[in-house]
Amino acid sequence: SDPYRVLVAEVMLQQTQVDRVVPKYLEFTDRFPDFASLASASPSDVLRQWQGLGYNRRALALHRAAREVVESHGGFLPQDKPTLMRLPGIGSYSASAIRAFAFNQPDAFIETNIRTVFIHHFFPGAERVTDAEILPIVEMAIDRDNPSRWYQALMDYGVHLKQQDNASRRSAHYRSQSGFEGSLRQARGEVLRVLLDEGTLTFDRLRAAIPTWDSRYADALNA
């Protein structure tokens, strides 16, 4: 329920599966245990600790958010949704999830496991179910006395249902993530790893430092 740790977890879980997040979350919060320690770190230190999660813009956004919390909010994460959404890297879903888990506020929100539960029970046999159809039911179902515990149970139940019949695939918003091996994401991560290890490099020296160099790496630099 610690607001800082909830924020870190929610940012890490954007576009990344739980099993990859857990070890990095533990390492990251050990290295940066609170807003002050993260805010005072250098961007390169934050990126170095983030390595392995990908989508590195999230790390830089989280770093900027920590600085804003320290400089503008006295080191305390704001509770109201509009202010949360003004923090770097925090959209409507993340703000609602943070409010539910850190402050036990009954905001309605949807993620993949929640989506699975509601499609399974309320849209049997339906295809391309939209979040706009699901959200009013989520709103009615929230346990307003303890929304944090409710959402944790709901997500765990969604994981259980996925092992039997992944109803989230019938969502209009379902997208399967492309493979990491051989991807632009992999190339970008390798470029970042070399630069964090070696510091500033010319293009030729960077290319020489990556034996598997191909067109993806140039694309990663230009992205």
Residue of 10, 27, 68, 71 with catalytic role: 10
Please report, as a single letter, which amino acid is at residue 22.
V
Q: Dig out the tokens for 29 from the structure.
A: 């919060």
Cβ contact 128:172 at 8 Å: yes
Burial class, 130, CB count within 10 angstroms (exposed 0-12 / middle 13-18 / buried 19+): exposed
Cβ contact 120:176 at 8 Å: no
Give SS3 for 4: helix
In the residue annotation, 10 being an active-site residue is answered as yes
Cβ contact 204:210 at 8 Å: no
Could you give the residue numbers annotated as active site?
Answer: 10
